[in-house]
Each structure stands twice: as C-alpha cells, then as structure tokens.
Structure 1
Amino acid sequence: MSTMTTEPRGPARALLLNGAARRVAARLCDVLLVLVVLAGADRADSELDLVVGGLMALCLLLRRRRPGAVLAAVLALGAAQFALHGLSDTQPTTVPAPYDVAVLFAMMSVVHHSRAAWMPYAAGVTVLTASALGATGVPGTGMEPFLHSWQDLTLLWGMTIAVWLLAYSLQARRLYAESQAARARQAERERAHLVRIATAEERAEIARELHDVVAHSLAVMTLQADGAGYVLRTSPDAAAAALKVIAATGRDAIDDMHRIVRVLRHGDGDGGGPDTAPRRKAVTLGEIHTAVARARAAGLSVGLSIETGEERLTAAEQVTAFRIVQESLTNVLRHAGTGAKADVRLWEERDVLLVTVVDDGGGRLSHDGDARVARRGGNGLVGMRERAELAGGGLEAGPRLGPGWRVCARIPRRMDDDAGERNDPGGRG
C-alpha cells in the first residue's frame, strides 16, 4: 500500500504551475498599465494633470482586489478633471487627456475580476453614460462638452465596447481555467478515495479467505489430534483414521493458502499468461458434503439436507452457501465441542436460497459470552454476514431457545438468464 500525499500530481499539478506563471504575468501587466497611465499624465499640459493621472495610476494597483471601488475612484477623478477644466479659465487640466485610458482599464478590471454577475454590465453602462455626459456636457454647471461631434462619441463608444468584449472573453477563459483546475483537484480526490475503498475491500476479502481456510482447518485438525491422542493406545485404527483426516485437511489448507498467495502476487487472474495466471478454486455445493464429512470425523453428529441443485445456483451463490455452512460447523466444533449435534439444511423459497445450521450446543445452555459474541460478532460471524450481504441477502445468528445456536442466511437467487454464469468456475473459494 502506497502512502497518500497531499502534493498535487498530474493535471492538477500542471494547472497549479500554470497558475503560478499567470500570477507573475498578472503582476507585470499591472506594472505596465500603471506605467502607461503615468506616461499619459506626463504628456499632458498641466501639472494638475500629473496629479490626477498619478492618482488614477495608484488606484489601478488595487484593480484585482477591489475592481468596483477602483472604477468608482477613477470615474470620480475623471469627474474632477472634467470639473477643473470647465470651471477654471486657466484650464489647469486637459480634457480629454491620454491618462483617461485608466477609465477603460478600470472597467476592464471590473468585467474580468468581479464575482457578481451584474457588475460587468453595470460597469459598461456606467462608462458609456459617462462618455455621453462628456459629449453633451453638464447643463447648469458651466461644464462644456469635450467631444465636438457624434462621430467622436461613436468612436469612443466603439472603443469602450471593444474593450468590454475583450475583458468579457478573458473572464470566460479565466472561469473555464478555474473550473478545469477544480475538476482536476476533484478527480485527484475521487481517485484517492476510490483507491482507499478498493484497498479496504481487498483487505476484507483476504481476511475472509484466510479466516475460512485457517479457522476451519485448524479446528478440525486440533480436534482430530486430540482424539487421536486419546485413542492412540486403545484403538490404533481410530488414531490412524484421525491422522489421515489431519493430513488431508492440512493438504487442502496448504493448497488454499498457496492459491491465496498466488492471487496476492499476480493479481486477480490477470498477471502473466494463461499458464502462469493463478486459477481460482471451483467451489460447488458438493464441497458441503466434504465439510460435513470432516465435521463428522471430528466427532460431530451432523444431519444434512440439500433441497436444491447446483444447476439452479450461480457459482457465487454456491460459494456463499458453502462458506456459511463451513464456518457454522467450525463454530459448532469450537464452542459446542465433540458430541454435539447439528442440522444443516439448504432449500429454496420464493427465489431465495435459505441456509440454516442449528446445533444443540452439546446439551449446554448458551453462556453470557456467547450472547455477547452474537451481539458484537466475532471474525467468523462478521465474515458470514459480509458474504450474505454481498450476495444481496442477510444473515441472522444467535442462541436459540434452550441449548444450542442457530444460523440462518438468506441468499437471493439470480434470474434464469444468468444460467451461463452458474457454470463459471471463477467463484471465490
């Protein structure tokens, strides 16, 4: 398992680097605009033009953070420039002046950087209205118009609209780039989340497989070894039979462990060619007879009733039923001990496969510890419940009335159009 890091990779990292380059370019652009406005103020005729133009240039330094306030300040300075030109005989300011281009720069900043949807349109209408007032003058104040023909006003409006459209297109590109960066970050988060989910599911799968192999095999081998030790001198034939069961169970457990290790090394059947890829063990309802025979050899009295056929169940349903029966018998051996009686039954009811394993607890009532296990669930119960839920069903397990324990699993059957899948030996064994 790889260690998760917070450093962005792939598209997110590329967009981040491009964003850093854009920030540097943006700062250079701000400096360039300020220099253009200051150069225009320096070329004007009056010293006050340098003051007004310099203030406009200083306002533009904040155009990215406060675009609306910058536009209002620049328009106010333009109105002051207009008023000083019309109210003074000495014409301390020049109208129009080259530094008035700051108004277009401020409007462009509002369109490009504002977050409110209405502000770009309000900025365009405000600048167009201010241009019209400049063309007609302000009656009653003595301010004379600085545009002398409608052709001049049309030219100025055309320039304003062109700048507005340019800023609007830049805003669309900026929003698109931000959305792409957000999507890339979201994709990175989703990919990491899917990896964590897949890892957790794979670990749970491996845990179930190991528990099914180790717990059942060790329980049978331990009970057989104990029995062989008791009858070694009095009944050598029975001891020899127990040792054969131990050997057979051990060989099957080793085969299962090798299969699990191969899956871990090569993946789920996709590593290497057809001769080297690990093969999954085909598990059918017939394996239940083997599990029951081993439980009987270990000292249990087991009754078995299978009222369905392998051809009616998919491979996954057969594996689920077998593992639930196997784990239930293992629990009977472990908790009830030899001499206990158990009944295993599989039947269908309304397109649902029902699996029940009921034991008498060796004639002993369930203890408090057993009740706690029923509520909390040990590893075996958790594994059985997970298998049933993965098949779309459920599992109930707990002490029954009187001595013993009862396990009941419900496994919904697939429809008949899945018949081709039933003969697929790729079930998890």
Structure 2
Amino acid sequence: MTVRRTLFGRPLRGAAFDVAVAALVVLVSLAAAVNQPGGWAATAVGVGMAVALLFRRTHPSAVTVAVAVLALIQVIARWGPLIYDVAVLIALYSVVKYGRRLRDGVLAGAVAAVGVLLAAAQTPNVIQWWVTALWYALVTGAVWLVALNVRTRRLYVLSLEERATTLEREREAESRAAVAEERTRIARELHDVVAHSMAVMIVQADGARFMLDRDPAQARTAVKVVADTGRQALEEMRRLVGVLRDAGPAGADGADGLAVAADPEHRRLALAELPDLLARFDDAGLHVRSTVTGAPPALPPGLELTVYRVVQEALTNALKHAGVGAGVEVVLSYTAEAVVVRVVDDGRGRPLVSPAPSGGHGLLGMRERVTVYDGSLTAGPRLAGGWQVEVRLPLPSEPATEVIAA
C-alpha cells in the first residue's frame, strides 16, 4: 500500500520544493539588502515575491499577477533589475505549466515582453540597450518555451492516466456484466435440472402408489429413488439459490424468467453428448484427441452439465487463440473423490477464417461454473507452447442413484 504524504493538502515533495525555492529568493534578497538599489525596501519587494511563489502550483495566475505588480513597483522606483527578479521567471514558468488555460500563459508572456524592455532600459551598461533587451528576451523566451513543453507533456500524461482509469472502469463493468450473465445462464440450466428431478420424483411416487399392494419390493425401490432424487434435487436447489443470491438484481430474472429458456442453449446437456461436441470442434479445424481414465461414476445432472460446459468453453478458446489446425487433447479423469478435466492445446494453429463456435465468457464463465460446485480452475500457458486448462470438481459424498421408471 502506497502512502502519499501531504502538507496543507498538497503533496509533501512538491510543497517542500516550493518552500526551498521561496527560501532561496528570500536569501538572495537579504544578502543584497545593503548594496542593492532601494536597500531594505527593495528587499521587502523580493520577500513579497518569495511569499507569493509558495502558491505557484495551486494559484499560478494569481501568483503571476502578484509578482508582476511587485516587479512594476520596482520599475517605478527605478531600482533596475535585481538578483531576486528570478522570481519573475519562476512565476512565468508556473503560469504556463500549471495554469488552467494556456491563454493565461500567453498573457503572462506578453507582460514579460514589456518587462524585458523596461528592464533593459533601466540596466546601467556601456553597450546599447537593445543588446541587453535581446539577452533578456532570449532568457525569458527560453523559460516560456520550456514551460510550454513541460505543460504539453504533463497534459499528455494526465490524459493517458485518465484514459487508463476509464478503460479500467469499463473492464470492471464488462466483467460484472459477464459474471451476471453467466450466473443467469447457470441458474437457468440448474433450474432445468431441478425441474427434471421433480418430474422424476412425481413419476416414481405415482408408480410406488400403484405398486404398493401388487409388488411391495418394486414399490420400495421406487420410494428409494424418490428419496435419492429428492436429496439430489435439494442440493441442486441450494446451488441454484446460491447463484441467484450472488448474482443480485442483475442476474435474478425470477422463477418465471428462468423457466422460459426454451432455446437449444438452455436444454439439458449430458456427458453422453460430449463425443458429438468433440466432433463438431474437430470439423471446425481442431485436431481433438480425447482420453478417459478411471470408471465414470453416475454424476449429478448439474455436475455433468458443468463438465460439458467446461470442455466446450476450453475448446472454444483453443480454436479462437490457438487457431485452426492446432492439436488439442481432452482428458477426463475419474477418481473416487473428484472428476478432473484437462484440455491442452499445442498453440500451433493458424488464424481463424470464420468465427469460432460460441461459448460463454471464457475463463470468467468457467470459473463461475466451477465455483458453484466448490471446484478449482487452473489455466495458463505451457512452457512447450500452447495453453492448458485444468478443472477439478469434487464428487458428492453419495453417488447419484440411477432413475428407474415405474
């Protein structure tokens, strides 16, 4: 965490520098008090200029006016140019660099040009006055141009910072919108899973009621299916409520809104359709190889859907970024505790000619889906080239019961 120290509401570093500049003007004014024209009265003018310079960053135009008035007093008193007149150049630099409008800097430059002529006329020397005026003009003009260059660079840096801040806000807003949309999509799909489970429970309960007297054993089996399916549906319902609660107003469409998802993207998907998915991406230009290790257990429908969507999104990203012709390996590993999905591409494809199949929202959408089932997601580049996505989804403590129709 960076701590910015301030003095009177200003950055400490800048305030300290301004104090040092003012102190230097005061010192040269006091050092020449005995020998300079005007004596202590001229020194008082120099000290006034030094005090005004303390506010050169916050009120540059006002400081320039104050220094100009004090310099005019010096001209009227015919003290001639004095060493503390360096404050005039500092004020000119400040109004060009820090002024809200460049017009103030241009007006200050015009006033400084008049001051150059007056100072040259009052400078005691043996050479012609216009030579002295030319020297003063070169110094003053150089200070004005340096200040203009610094102002331009300063405004450019500020515009870049503002643009970066705007882009960051836009990225955050897009990320929040993507999360809300993906959570709504997950909620729709989980709603379909729960609705399917409810339908199974009703069918099995009706079957058990009719078979209770004829075949008690089959009735007990049907009742067991009802209980197991109910437990599974309750767990999916908890996840559904959790998704909607996290989504807030942006993602909560209501129960009626979730139930009307009739397009193909919202139909119930299962791992049995995974070979068709791999074939579609293979036709799109990827060289897909699939491997399954371990004995696939009976997964809850919601977990099956998550595995399917993870593979779909990973293959979509591979097609978009690795390109057509890239080799992709899809590995499903089943253990007693979890199912692990790993999708690895070699990154050796060529740019796409046609758009890739649409998925969700990339890694953001995958992370949202995996989080629903308390899983973990690891994604990143490989040392050998390409990209790897690995998802680990813990299995429920109780295996899902196979549905037996009455």
Query: TM-score scaled by structure 2?
Result: 0.52
CA distance 1:79–1:216, change in 2 (3 Å)? same
Secondary structure of the corresponding residue to residue 11 of structure 2: helix
Q: Could you list the per-position Cα deviations for residues 392-429 of structure 1 after superposition, in whole angstroms to 9, with x for gaps in the alignment?
A: xxxxxxxxxxxxxxxxxxxxxxxxxxxxxxxxxxxxxx
Q: 1:132 to 1:99 in 2, by over 3 A?
A: same
CA separation in 1, counterparts of 2:59 and 2:195?
A: 69
Tell me the alpha carbon deviations over residues 200-259 of structure 1, each in whole angstroms, 9 at most, x when there is no partner: 122112111111112123223313322431244358999799899989x99979452232
On the 8 A contact 1:41/1:99 being kept in 2, the answer is: yes
Report the alpha carbon displacement of residue 149 of structure 1 after superposing the two structures with TM: 1.5
Confirm whether residue 73 of structure 1 aligns to residue 66 of structure 2. Answer: yes
Q: What is the match of residue 388 of structure 1?
A: none
Structure 1 counterpart SS, 2:330? coil
Map of 1:379 onto structure 2: none
Structure 1 residues 310-389: aligned runs within 5 Å: none
Report the alpha carbon displacement of residue 118 of structure 1 after superposing the two structures with TM.
Answer: 1.2
Partner of 1:27: 15
Relative to 1, partners in 2 of residues 1:32 and 1:73: Cα closer, same or farther, differing over 3 Å? same
Which residue is 2:350 aligned to?
Answer: none
User: Which among 13, 27, 30 is matched to residue 39 of structure 1?
Assistant: 27
Name the CA shift for 1:133/1:239 in 2 (closer, same or farther; >3 Å). Answer: same
Alignment-derived partner of residue 197 in structure 1: 177
Contact 2:201 2:226 in 1 (8 A): yes
Q: 1:257 aligns with which of 281, 302, 309?
A: 302
Q: Tell me which residue corresponds to 1:275.
A: 331
- For 1:47 and 1:69, the matched residues in 2 are separated by 25
Counterpart for residue 109 of structure 1: 94
Per-residue deviation, residues 155-174 of structure 1 (Å, max 9, x unmatched): 10000011111111221222
- 1:220-259 equivalences under 5 Å are 220-233=200-213, 254-259=299-304
**Are the equivalent residues in 1 in contact too, given 2:330–2:342 (CA < 8 A)?**
no
Give how far 1:186 is off: 2.4
State the distance in 1 between where 2:308 and 2:6 align: 44
Q: Which amino acid aligns with 1:26?
A: G
Runs of 4+ in 1 over 6 A off after TM superposition: 16-20, 235-247, 249-253, 263-267
The answer to whether the Cα contact below 8 Å between 2:92 and 2:108 also exists between their aligned partners in 1 is: yes
* SS of the residue 2:56 aligns to: coil
- The residue identity in structure 2 corresponding to 1:134 is A
**In the alignment, which residue of structure 1 is the partner of 2:321?**
none
Rg larger in structure: 1
Corresponding residue number in structure 2 for 1:303? none
Partner of 1:309: none
Q: Matched residue pairs, number?
A: 255
Match of 2:151 among 164, 171, 178: 171
Q: Report the residue type matching 1:48 in the other structure.
A: A
Gaps of at least 5 residues in structure 2 are 233-269, 271-297, 318-327, 333-339, 344-355, 359-406
Task: Please give the per-residue CA displacement for 1:43-99, whole angstroms capped at 9, x wherever unaligned.
Answer: 2421212111111111111111221111111111111111122xxxxxxxx311001
- Matched position secondary structure for 1:155: helix
- The structure-2 alpha-carbon separation of the partners of 1:279 and 1:205, relative to structure 1 and needing over 3 Å to count, comes to farther
| Contact 1:75–1:103 under 8 Å retained in 2 | yes
Whether the 8 Å contact between 1:229 and 1:239 is mirrored in structure 2 is yes
Note closer, same or farther for the CA distance 1:18–1:177 as it changes in structure 2 (3 Å cut).
Answer: farther
Distance 2:71 2:331 in 1: 84
Taking the aligned partners of 1:65 and 1:128, their CA distance within structure 2 comes to: 24
Partner letter of residue 23 of structure 2? L
Q: Is the 8 A contact 2:109 2:144 kept in 1?
A: yes
CA pair 261-116 structure 1, distance change in 2 beyond 3 A: same
Contact 1:259/1:279, CA 8 A, preserved across alignment:
no
Which of 117, 122, 141 is the aligned partner of 1:132? 117
Distance 1:266 1:28 in 2: 60
Match of 2:167 in 1: 187
Report % sequence identity.
36
- Counterpart CA distance in 2 for 1:23 and 1:315 is 53
Tell me the SS of whatever aligns to 1:275: strand
- Check 1:267–1:158 CA distance in 2 against 1; reply closer, same or farther (3 A cut): farther
Does structure 1 retain, via aligned residues, the 8 Å contact 2:64–2:91? yes
Match of 1:157 among 129, 137, 161: 137
Q: Secondary structure at the match of 1:118?
A: helix
- Cα distance in 2 for residues equivalent to 1:149 and 1:242: 114
> Conserved in 2, the CA contact under 8 Å of 1:39 and 1:99?
no
Q: How far did residue 199 of structure 1 move? A: 1.8
Change (3 A) 1:17 1:171: farther
